Structures are given as C-alpha cells and as structure tokens.
C-alpha cells in the first residue's frame, strides 16, 4: 500500500477513506493484521492495522522489509494520446522503472491537457502492483519546445524515430548514464520538430523495427530496448 507519509518504526501513519475501505472492506483485514507499505522514498515496511473507518484510519509501522531501490536513470517523455492509452503508457513506464514521466505537447498532439493527478495515481497503482518501492513523479504537461530549451545535455535522449526503417536498433555501444526516451504522438513529430531533434547533439534517433507501432506500443518497446542494453 502506498502511504505518502514518512515511515518510521513504531510510528502511526494515517490512511485515507479509500485506503481504509480497501483494507477492511476489500482485503478484509482486522485490527492487528499485517500490511505491507511503501512511500516511494524509504523502502518497504511491514505495518499493522490500527483502525479503519469510513473517513480513514491508521496503521502502526513495525519494521523495514526492503531497502529503497534506486530507479534506473531513465525518464520517459511522450505526447499524450487517447485517455486509456495515455494511462497505459504511464502504468507500463512505472512498472518498468522509469524514474520520471514527462507528458509533452507537440505540434501534432491532440490533447492539450492531462489529468496529472490521475496519471500520478496510475503510477502509484502500478508501483503497488509490481511490488516496487519507486513511484516516478508524473510532470505536468509542458510544450516539447520548452522542455528541449531547458534540457540538461548530460542526459541523453533516445528518440524513437519511425522514419529510420529497418531492424530495431541495438543500443550496445551507447554511453551508460542518464537517458530519456522520447516517443511522438499518433501523428508523429512535425517537420520542424524533426529538424530540431536531428540537430541536437544529445539526441540519438533509433528505430524500433520496420513496422510503425502505435505510440503506446512504441513506449513499451523502447523501454524494453533500453533496459536490455543500458539498464541496470
């Protein structure tokens, strides 16, 4: 269970109404039963249920059961697509250990707003599901041009570029270190965006194979490709 609160042995932590309902109504836990909790910062802890009511409840933190994992130093930049597919991208990126998720507005992005809180909740749920201790922050939607203007060139960008036909890239030989994957919208990047990306020295264009993938598939494929060659 994700608890946005410091976890310290012997200390109580609050749970909100939805979490209290999940613990007592869905999981059928009773006072004193064990619950595994994490906050994305302090590893995983065993806690016990103190009380759970309609408006919330509390747990008592007992002992640490896993230390905090370091996320792979990989960010995901992507152009939001339809709601369910955007949710999918955030969920899969969180499962695969992306350390930061950055939705960007591009020339061909259809949606000019996202529900950041909703996407963050998906990232939390994905981390809960796969037993990770890392919850990647989901940034607010920002224009790609502004993101590139302020980019620290020490973090290289792996640009999934569907115009590079041919087999999927092997990333062996690319430098280790901080990276970000960049995935375009359903309509692809505009000519202006492509020209800018091609000029930037910290951007490496790669193929994900000879077929044009949907953006959500491309995100998962690129994350897996990066993990297999450069991940730790």
Residues in touch with ligand SAM (CB under 6 A): 160-162, 183-184, 186-189, 207-209, 211-215, 218
Q: Would you say 3 or 183 has its CB closer to ligand SAM? A: 183
Dihedral angle, C-alpha 94, 220, 110, 105, nearest 10 °: 60
Minimum Å distance from CB 65 to ligand SAM?
39
What minimum distance in Å lies between the beta carbon of 176 and ligand SAM? 22
Least distance CB 84 / ligand SAM (angstroms): 16
| Secondary structure (DSSP) of 85-125 | HHHHHHHHHHHTT-SEEEEEE-TT-S-S---HHHHHHHHHH
Whichever of 138 and 215 has its CB closer to ligand SAM, that residue is 215
Between residues 72 and 184, which has the closer beta carbon with respect to ligand SAM? 184
Work out how close the CB of 125 gets to ligand SAM at its nearest, in angstroms, rounded to a whole number. 24
DSSP codes, 117-178: HHHHHHHHHHHHHTT-S--PPBPPPEEHHHHHHT--TTSEEEEE-TTS-SSPPP-TTSPPS-
- Nearest CB to ligand SAM, comparing residues 13 and 215: 215
Q: SS3 breakdown of the chain: % helix, strand, coil, rounded to 5?
A: 30, 25, 45
Measure CA 208 to chain center: 20
C-beta of 35 vs 104, nearer to ligand SAM: 104
* Nearer to ligand SAM (CB atom), residue 57 or residue 188: 188
- Least separation in angstroms between residue 95's CB and ligand SAM is 19
Nearest approach, Cβ of 214 to ligand SAM (angstroms)? 5
């Amino acid at each position: 269970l994700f608890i946005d609160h410091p976890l310290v042995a012997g200390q109580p932590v609050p749970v909100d109404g939805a979490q209290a309902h999940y613990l007592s109504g869905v999981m059928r836990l009773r006072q004193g039963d064990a619950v595994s909790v994490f906050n994305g910062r302090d590893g995983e802890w065993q806690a016990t249920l103190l009380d759970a009511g309609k408006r919330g409840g509390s747990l008592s933190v007992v002992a640490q059961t896993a230390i905090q994992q370091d996320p792979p130093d990989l960010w995901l930049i992507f152009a939001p697509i339809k709601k369910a597919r955007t949710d999918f991208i955030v969920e899969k990126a969180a499962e695969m250990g992306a350390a930061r998720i950055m939705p960007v507005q591009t020339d061909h992005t259809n949606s000019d707003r996202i529900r950041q809180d909703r996407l963050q909740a998906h990232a939390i749920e994905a981390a809960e599901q796969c037993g990770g201790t890392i919850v990647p922050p989901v940034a607010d939607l920002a224009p790609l041009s502004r993101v590139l203007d302020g980019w620290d060139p020490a973090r290289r960008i792996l640009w999934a570029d569907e115009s590079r036909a041919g087999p999927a890239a092997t990333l062996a030989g690319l430098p280790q270190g901080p990276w970000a994957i960049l995935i375009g919208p359903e309509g692809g990047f505009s000519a202006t965006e492509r020209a800018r990306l091609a000029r930037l020295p910290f951007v490496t264009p790669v193929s994900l194979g000879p077929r044009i993938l949907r953006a959500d598939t491309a995100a998962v494929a690129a994350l897996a490709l990066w993990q297999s060659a450069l991940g730790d």
